[in-house]
Amino acid sequence: MGGLRTAFAALVAHGPRAQLAERAAEQLGQRLPADYVVLARYAPRDNGSDVVPLVVVGPHGVLVVEPRDEDGALVCYQDHWYRRSGPAGSSHPLAGSPSKRARFNAARVKSDLASGGFIYTPVEGVVVLTRGKAEDVGSSCVPVIVGMDALVRHLESYSQRDTATERTQALVGALSGPIRVATT
């Protein structure tokens, strides 16, 4: 079964979600100050088959981003997402819930940080609409942000900033390095 899982993961690694994550990471890398690190397609240590599209590590903590590239007006009713279309405004469900996925992925990243020794690091999940328009998304379990510029403003708006670049690098190390075992 491992061979099938590996083949599927390799196929997905070049799909539309992966390309969107790479494109979003590149845009964020160009727009954010040097004290931020953007990780595209982060593979959590929980052995899940799905990667986290985008993780932004910075002075504020960690932001887990679920980018969506649908056109048109998007609505969210209690974490069920729909695309509105036509003059009558008929709604068509989206495959999967971006807000639930962002929240789930934030928990996965938080677990990895905790195993790396950063138990109290704030981790937040968000949905970013790169092309669509957020029409009624108030019942999403995570914030919904429209556009990459708005995401940059969101990241830079945190009033509590730990200005130590070393802390950001340590968080990146906790996510990318082996699990640390506490010693007494």
Q: Tens digit of pLDDT for each residue in 82-92?
A: 998 777 667 88
Is position 183 within any domain? no
In the predicted structure, residue 183 carries a pLDDT above the cut 70: no
This prediction has a pTM of: 0.83
Is position 9 within any domain? no
Work out the average pLDDT over 48-68: 92
Work out the average pLDDT over 87-101: 86
Sign of CA dihedral 93, 55, 9, 5: negative
User: What does 24-77 look like in DSSP terms, one character per residue?
Assistant: HHHHHHHHS-TT-EEEEEE--TT--SSPEEEEEEETTEEEEEEEE---SEEEEE
pLDDT, position 16: 84
Is position 49 within any domain? yes
- Structural domain count of the chain: 1
pLDDT, position 179: 59
Work out the average pLDDT over 153-168: 74
Beta sheet of 133-136, edge-to-edge order: 90-93, 80-85, 73-77, 133-136
Is position 158 within any domain? yes
- How much is the mean pLDDT over the chain? 84
pLDDT, position 35: 87
pLDDT, position 176: 83
pLDDT per position as a tens digit, 6-42: 444 444 456 888 899 999 999 999 999 988 999 999 9
Pair 74, 66: CB distance under 8 Å: no
3-state DSSP assignment of residue 86: coil
Pair 85, 72: CB distance under 8 Å: yes
Which of 29-33, 111-115, 168-172 has the lowest average pLDDT?
Answer: 168-172
Is position 90 within any domain? yes
Is position 181 within any domain? no
Q: Which pLDDT band, with edges at 50, 70 and 90, does 57 fall under?
A: very high
Work out the average pLDDT over 77-82: 93
pLDDT, position 12: 47
Is position 82 within any domain? yes
Domain membership of residue 54 as a residue range: 16-176
Record the tokens describing residue 104, joined without a space: 């789930």
Is position 7 within any domain? no
